[in-house]
Amino acid sequence: AAIPSQPAAEEYRDIVAALPSRLHGTPQRMRLYQGTWFREDWVLGFIAIQRHFVPREDGSDVVLASLPKCGTTWLKALVFATAARAHPLLRLNPHDCIPFMEAVYFAGDEARLDAAPSPRLMSTHASFTVLPASITENPGCKIIYICRQPKDMLISFWHFINRSKSNAMSFSDVWESIPKGTYFGSPIWEHILEYWKASQEKPDKVLFLKYEEILRDPVKNVEKIAEFIGQPFSDVEKEAGIVESIIDLCSFQSLKASGANNAGFRRVVNVEVPNESFFRKGTVGDWVNYVTPEMAENLDNFLADKFRGSGFSF
Ligand code: A3P
C-alpha cells in the first residue's frame, strides 16, 4: 500500500521509503527505524514526534508507553481518572482523554497537545530509544510503561487486527510475529527491557507496570500511579474510597458498557477501528483457548532466552 498522504507523511515519505522493510501479513509494510520495527505509518508519526515535540515548561508531562494490546486503554483510563480525580470517563473514550502522540503528530495536529491542561497526558507505542531526548532525558517528563504476558498480548492482537478487514492477519502470522520480529515494536524483548532498565535506573522518571499485577492488586497500583505523577491520595481521599471508585470506574465491565466505548469508530494513526474492539475479554491466560501447550512452551522458551541475565521476568 502507498504511504498515506498526511502532513507528516508528506514531509518524511522519502526517509521512511528508504528504511529496511518487511512484510507482516497486512498490506501495510513494516519499517526498521532506529532499531524498532513498526508499521510505516506509525514510523512517520515517530519521526514527527522526534522533530517537533516540545515539552511543557512546567515539567508536568506524562507519557504512557506500551506495546499494542498490553492494556494501554485501561492504563489511560486509570491515569486520567487518577490525575483528574473526576469521572468524565463515562462520556469519553480513554483514547480521547489521552491521545496517541504518533497519531497527533501523524495528522499534524500538535496544537491539540499544546492546548491540553497540565499535567499533560499522552501515550505512545514507540520504543524508549525512538523517543526524543526531550522526553527521555527531561526530568520534567515522566513515563509510565505497561507490559503484559506476550501470549495474551498476541491473542488480543489477533482479535483486534481482524476487526479491520483491510488489516486482517492469519493466526500463524500473528503467533509467529515475536520471533519473526514482525509484531509492532519488535524486537518486543528490547522494547520491554529498555523501559524496564530505565525504570530500574531512574524510578522517579519511569514507572514500570504489569497488566497482570494491576488486575491482581488494583489498589496498590493505582496508589503507585498517583504517587508517581505527584498527586498522591490523601488519607481523607483513601478513607472516602476514592481509589476504589477510580478502579470501579475503570473496570473492564464499566468501560465496556460506557456509551463512549461500545459504539462508533476511531482512527488510530491510519487505521479505523471500532471503539468496542479495545474491550474484548480483559482476563489473564486466554491463550490456553487458542494454542497447544507445545506452541506456548516454544514461545516461552524463546523469550526466556532473550530475557536471560537481564533480571527481568514476567
Ligand atoms: P483482551 O483482548 O485480552 O481482552 P490495548 O488497550 O493496549 O489495546 O489492550 C487491549 C486489551 O486490554 C484487551 O485485552 C482489552 O480487553 C483489555 N482491557 C481493556 N480495558 C480493560 C480494563 N478496564 N481492564 C482490564 N483489561 C482491559
CA 227 – ligand 1 centroid, Å: 24
Q: Residue range 271-277: average pLDDT?
A: 87
Better pLDDT: 261 or 38: 38
Res 272 pLDDT > 50? yes
Residue 52 CA to ligand 1 centre (angstroms): 30
Q: Which CATH class is domain 7-307?
A: alpha beta
Q: Which of 156, 159, 271 to mutate to test the pocket of ligand 1 (most atoms within 8 A of CB)?
A: 156
Q: pLDDT over 90 for what percent of the chain? A: 70
Confidence band, pLDDT 50/70/90 cuts, at residue 3:
very low
- Chain segment 211-257, per-residue pLDDT in tens: 999 999 999 999 999 999 999 998 988 888 889 999 999 999 999 99
Looking at per-residue pLDDT, the higher value among 89 and 260 belongs to 260
pLDDT band at 298 (very low <50, low <70, confident <90, very high): very high
Mean pLDDT, rounded, for 147-172: 92
Question: Looking at residue 7, what is its pLDDT?
Answer: 60
- For residue 8, is pLDDT > 70? no
User: ipTM strictly over 0.85?
Assistant: yes
Ligand 1 pocket test, pick from 279, 284, 288 with the greatest ligand atom count within 8 Å of Cβ, gives 279
Position 77 confidence tier, pLDDT thresholds 50, 70, 90: very high
* Tens digits of residue pLDDT in 80-123: 999 987 666 666 788 988 899 999 988 888 888 888 888 899 99
* pLDDT at residue 116 in the model: 86
Q: Is 125 a catalytic residue?
A: yes
pTM (2 d.p.): 0.94
* Whether the predicted pLDDT of 1 surpasses 60: no
Average pLDDT over residues 113-138: 94
Mean pLDDT over residues 263-278, rounded?
86
**Average of per-residue pLDDT values in the chain:** 91
Q: Give me ligand 1 centre to Cα 139, in Å.
A: 30
b/e map 39-60, b = 16+ CB within 10 Å: bbbbbbbbbbbbebbeebeeeb
> Separation of 123 CA from ligand 1 center, angstroms?
15
pLDDT number for residue 154: 98
Confidence category of residue 30, pLDDT binned at 50, 70, 90:
very high
**Alpha-carbon span 167 to 222, nearest angstrom:** 34
Q: At residue 15, does pLDDT exceed 60?
A: yes
> What sign for the dihedral angle of Cα 261, 155, 131, 72?
positive
Active-site choice (24, 95, 125, 191): 125
Beta strands 36-39 and 30-33, pairing class: antiparallel
**C-alpha 54 to ligand 1 mean position (Å):** 30
Q: Locate the ligand 1 atom nearest the alpha carbon of residue 252 and give its number.
A: 23
Whether 5 has a pLDDT exceeding 60, the answer reads no
Q: Which atom of ligand 1 is nearest to the CA of 160?
A: 2
What letter represents residue 284's amino acid?
Answer: V
141-147 and 206-210 strand pairing: parallel
Cα gap 303→263, rounded to integer Å = 37
Give nearest CA residue, ligand 1 atom 24. Answer: 252
Instruction: Report residues whose beta carbon is within 6 angstroms of any ligand 1 atom.
Output: 66, 68-74, 152, 156, 159, 250-252, 255, 278-282, 286
Per-residue model confidence (pLDDT) at position 97: 85
Q: So where are the chain's domains?
A: 7-307
> pLDDT at position 189, please?
98
